[in-house]
Copies of this chain bind each other. A is one copy, B any other.
Amino acid sequence: MPKAYVLGISMTKFGRHPDTSIQEMGSMAVWDAVTDAGISIEEIGAVYCGHVFQGTGAGQKIMTAVGLTGLPIINLENACASGATAFREAYHSVLAGRYDVCLAVGVEKLSGIYRGGLADVKDLEGAQGLTFAALYALRARRYMHTHGLKPETLAKIAVKNRKNAYYNEKASYGELIDVDTVLNSRLVADPLHFYECTPPSDGAAAAIIVSEEYARKSSGKPVEIAASALTSGKLQFGFIDMTFEDITHRAAQDAYSQSGLGPEDVDFAEVHDCFTIAEILRVESLGFCPPGGMAAWIEEGVTEINGKKPVNPSGGLLGKGHPLGATGIAQIYEICKQLRGQAGARQITGARAGLAMCRGGATTGIEGNACAIHILKL
């Protein structure tokens, strides 16, 4: 089996950028990734662009702004996992031996178009007004009921991720807050407060993926892609366990099998914390700790940057914001920065392998449209 590597990685500062076009954000990310990789931009063989709401030809628009056209440009959509999906397809193209160098770029501008996180109104859930916040609030209530989780413990995830983001110059929502601030902020969907919900954002991220041969010749700092797993939810009938994610569990098992690394070998993770409860569900479904085990982990500080298993050292979606198409690649940005020892004030000591987990979408009948998990290692 051939291998592929991340040679360059970048992200723009996520946040509200109503006056910046996707062409500007995307081309900034592309140039930064090219510079980071130390390649000549003409070496890029194909471009994979992940986004959700940017209309037709978003990748073409960005590459026209970059000034590199006349090559394959492909747009991909997998809801909030669109960026991770673009990364994966770029990886496949390199694995297939079609190109030595591929570019994955993720972009989203939600300013001016975001309609409050509704699922598709044509779906059963959307038609009932079940927003994502409401959906995760139901999951939080059930988890609290099953495992006795306290609101104070749940709130600590928001405190941690906002703190990590405070030390991340690419994040707009970093803040040194305490549990009381979280619990006193307004309720969005009981039991989730304002600080427990990810802010919709604008931003872009990009990655340069290269073949093993190219990586070997490079003078850069290649990070190996040890696993790329993607799956969709299974059809579900009858009782659904809202406290454990089958889709995440299956994708993780696939990723562990591909990489030969288990959850115990992964030093840290970026997970899709669109809401505080989501971080708990994901960490447990990844098999990092048993179901119900996260409450103790949170209280013991295990998932803090200086803990035994740091989670979302970047600040996660809660601390960075969530420009849908960009998020999956931004997670991989953090993994690469940590593995290269370039994470500054939020550096995890001695990390050798990291995992990025991204989820997207809700379609009637299945648990989710996509769960993408990448494991990267030195």
Report which A residues bind B (CB closer than 8 A).
Answer: 1-2, 46, 52, 55-57, 60-61, 63-64, 67, 69-79, 85, 89, 92-93, 95-98, 120, 122, 230-235, 247, 250, 361, 363-366, 369-370
Contacts and interface: CB of A to CB of B under 8 A. Distances in A.
Contact of A95 (B96, B120, B234, B370): B96
A73 B120 contact: no
A246 to B, nearest CB: 8
A365 B64 contact: yes
Contacts of A56: 52, 77, 79, 120, 361, 369
The winner among A55, A233, A363 for most chain B CB atoms within 10 A is A363
B364 A71 contact: no
Nearest to A234: B70
Given A55-B120, A70-B232, A75-B76, 16 more contacts: A56-B77, A57-B78, A57-B363, A60-B232, A69-B233, A69-B235, A69-B365, A70-B231, A70-B233, A71-B231, A71-B232, A74-B370, A92-B92, A92-B98, A95-B96, A95-B98
Best-buried of A72, A97, A250 by chain B (most CB within 10 Å): A72
A285 to B, nearest CB: 15
A326 to B, nearest CB: 16
B60 A366 contact: yes
Contacts of A61: 363
Contacts of A95: 96-98
Nearest to A93: B92
A74 B72 contact: no
A363 B250 CA distance: 40
A83 to B, nearest CB: 13
A61 to B, nearest CB: 6
A76 B76 contact: yes
Nearest to A85: B74
Contacts of A366: 60, 64, 69
A13 B3 CA distance: 42
A93 to B, nearest CB: 5
A205 B57 CA distance: 22
A1 B77 contact: no
A160 to B, nearest CB: 30
A52 B57 CA distance: 10
Given A97-B1, A250-B70, A57 B92 contact: no
B63 A232 contact: yes
B73 A369 contact: yes
A369 B61 CA distance: 9
B70 A361 contact: no
A101 to B, nearest CB: 15
A56 B120 CA distance: 8
B77 A75 contact: yes
